Structure 1
């Protein structure tokens, strides 16, 4: 952590931008390898100090954070506007997210949870697509996420008055009833997001730069899921399960309706953004079943979705840099120019619809089994949702086909760095299936 803070100040005295981004990329990878070796020796819960800890839930999200941010640092160009300030914002964001995943005090979790939104807002406003709508989208994100979590903040203050300061302590709280659980979860559902609270997400994705979209889809949506896991275990013994059935049903119907919205989107980035809402709706509903398979499937799905959706946003940006448009009709015929890139479009699209042997596949199997154990009638919602999800991802891949695109006046081939970023996204999202027993052990 001290090394990262020192690097952020050194940005202002160094002119070689490529070396700095490579340094931060390698630093994230070194931290990730150190933590993986570290967990082989210390498993279950390891208390680093009074404030920080690693357990079976935070470990995978810390690895995901370091992976996505390392790829994001690698994707940065040398011609970014106000490059030093951009790198400083990204490092601050990295510190906030890592502190959010490793803190043992839930009031600190809330503070870092909210503070991590401000670097994202600055990324959208300063480095987003040049339009006044980028300010509107950042205000949407702030109003939805901050106001919805005020009830959670007041409840945390109430728990602190009772002497419950850490996540571990709240398990012994006898009056953590359904009302407290609903207030606590309310702010997290907007971050994930739940349908009807998702309007900020497509707007933020459309106007954010590519590295902002990679962070939003790969990391920021997982902050709410991580907190949801903790609060479900906090209220597991005192919450009336029937009170959560409304969230389960509403989330599934919202996912079905959002998948239909994806079918008539004309912007490729909007399709990927709305598909995130569909995936998160299944994550929310499966966690609300309070079953072990649902919790494990939700965790695996969040890890897999964070990797694959980040890669899809990067693929969309690769098309945008060559056609100056994200419209589906303006990106037809890419296979005629770059067949190898079309191959990665196919592989990433299939991973997003949970083909074997991806993490999404195992996550969906576990989540569907937990939902069908809750009610067999959910199959009439899950079947059309999965069919429509496959349809709009095939529609997105179909952009690669067609006649020659006359919009490509100045066409440039892909760089090696771009292929490396896509390969690392696909490789980690699929080859991790071989090490799934390690994940399940946690």
Structure 2
């Protein structure tokens, strides 16, 4: 992968948006030659493929008046930091990439955010990330000195808090809705599509080094995450901001991923990987579609955005497709991911079946609520809009096609 990294640095010298976009496409084709049997190297490759794919979508979503050399440099910085995080072999290098990737998102939030509250949202994000990441740095440093550390909850939380904030786990999620509301479209796309997956990849990487330690101490988090996902599903019905509702849906999906990962079963690991990849495309597509809708209606309110099916049917079609994918409706990749995750949780403890039933019902209902309340009914404010351009339709297709075609061969998104 050194060739790709050097190619990225060469593209930075060129400083051209067009060349950067097409270079990313060449990198995706180049990565096909590095596919091997499976395991951790293939997992790294899959996450980098997802990162580059969504970064191309980010480059396509930036309007002409927002294109600048500073923003392009931030995108390249973000890609290099994610490369460092995903392709590291040691925990300390992973930690460096893990923390470096927060800075580009913070700069995007401060420089291209919508509202004056973006400063407060940025401080929330940086304080949550830095405060809970410092114990992980201390533990990584002392891991090489103290081989036999104490097997207690304090050590467990010192290792896990940084990853649970990135997911984010219910209770540590307050920074994410604020960041999404204030971030521009391309900031929300990479935040939901890739940044939340760093927490899942960190737990997976930690399980390879100390799986028994996580299994003994993390059992109570499985039921806690399920209950938190149910509560947040009910909170979604009280939201009037479309972006807040989609942000909460990301937290709900990541709660089931955390529960499946901590079971440390093959079905849970495979299901979490499918769910993270599928959610990356689905959530990024929803935020991109919301950005296109906001550019026309100039509001994110569910009440003000009613009746789009009467004045812009192509927009409602895409809302239907992505809301159906958010429900895990076939042939979406989220469907096998949820099946594997539910199976791993039931194999871990069959008494959790009631929580799984409630989780699956409520997490489906809020997506139906999102589509029906935002697209149907009568619209009293708008008469017509400019339809989607070819580039905007291409962005939607490039989100939707891999999300629904990867189910044809699940070995592509499986660890083993």
TM-score interval, smaller chain: over 0.9
In structure 1, which of residues 73, 86, 107 is the aligned counterpart of residue 92 of structure 2? 107
- Deviation string 1:51-88 (CA, Å, 9 cap, x unpaired) is xxx713212111110111011111111101x7111111
User: Aligned residue for 1:21?
Assistant: 17
In the TM superposition, residue 223 of structure 1 has moved relative to its aligned partner by 0.8
In the TM superposition, residue 175 of structure 1 has moved relative to its aligned partner by 4.6
In structure 2, which of residues 113, 119, 128 is the aligned counterpart of residue 144 of structure 1? 128
1:78 paired to 2:64 = yes
Measure the CA separation in 2 of the matches of 1:74 and 1:30.
16
Measure the CA separation in 2 of the matches of 1:190 and 1:296.
22
Moved more, 360-369 or 152-161: 152-161
Kindly tell me: are residues 176 and 232 of structure 1, through their superposed partners in 2, closer, same or farther at Cα, counting changes over 3 Å?
farther
User: Aligned residue for 2:183?
Assistant: 208
1:300 paired to 2:274 = yes
1:30 paired to 2:15 = no
User: Aligned residue for 1:257?
Assistant: 231
| Kept after mapping to 1: 8 A contact 2:113/2:182 | yes
Measure the CA separation in 1 of the matches of 2:128 and 2:47.
24
User: Aligned residue for 2:12?
Assistant: 8
Measure the CA separation in 1 of the matches of 2:385 and 2:215.
57
Q: Unaligned regions of 5+ residues in structure 1, if any?
A: 12-19, 46-53, 163-172
- Deviation string 1:320-347 (CA, Å, 9 cap, x unpaired) is 0001000001111111122122111111
User: Aligned residue for 1:323?
Assistant: 297
Measure the CA separation in 2 of the matches of 1:402 and 1:56.
47
| Kept after mapping to 2: 8 A contact 1:252/1:281 | yes
Kindly tell me: are residues 98 and 407 of structure 1, through their superposed partners in 2, closer, same or farther at Cα, counting changes over 3 Å?
same
User: Aligned residue for 2:172?
Assistant: 197
Measure the CA separation in 2 of the matches of 1:320 and 1:389.
25
In the TM superposition, residue 280 of structure 1 has moved relative to its aligned partner by 0.5
Describe the SS at the equivalent of 1:236. helix
The total of aligned residue pairs comes to 410
Kindly tell me: are residues 281 and 433 of structure 1, through their superposed partners in 2, closer, same or farther at Cα, counting changes over 3 Å?
same
Matches within 5 A, 1:37-436: 37-39=33-35, 42-44=36-38, 55-80=41-66, 83-129=68-114, 131-161=115-145, 175=149, 177-179=151-153, 180-237=155-212, 239=213, 241-398=215-372, 399-407=374-382, 411-436=385-410
In the TM superposition, residue 240 of structure 1 has moved relative to its aligned partner by 6.9
In the TM superposition, residue 266 of structure 1 has moved relative to its aligned partner by 0.3
| Kept after mapping to 2: 8 A contact 1:44/1:55 | yes
Measure the CA separation in 1 of the matches of 2:414 and 2:231.
32
| Kept after mapping to 2: 8 A contact 1:44/1:56 | yes
Cα RMSD after superposing both structures: 1.7
Moved more, 352-361 or 266-275: 352-361
In the TM superposition, residue 376 of structure 1 has moved relative to its aligned partner by 2.1
| Kept after mapping to 1: 8 A contact 2:38/2:415 | no
Structure 2 length normalisation: TM-score? Answer: 0.94
| Kept after mapping to 1: 8 A contact 2:329/2:335 | yes
| Kept after mapping to 1: 8 A contact 2:222/2:262 | yes
Q: Unaligned regions of 5+ residues in structure 2, if any?
A: none
Structure 1 length normalisation: TM-score? Answer: 0.89
Measure the CA separation in 1 of the matches of 2:83 and 2:126.
21
| Kept after mapping to 2: 8 A contact 1:21/1:76 | no
In the TM superposition, residue 246 of structure 1 has moved relative to its aligned partner by 1.6
Describe the SS at the equivalent of 2:170. coil
In the TM superposition, residue 2 of structure 1 has moved relative to its aligned partner by 2.2
In the TM superposition, residue 29 of structure 1 has moved relative to its aligned partner by 1.6
In the TM superposition, residue 297 of structure 1 has moved relative to its aligned partner by 0.5
| Kept after mapping to 2: 8 A contact 1:155/1:183 | yes
Measure the CA separation in 1 of the matches of 2:106 and 2:215.
36
Moved over 4 A (4+): 173-176
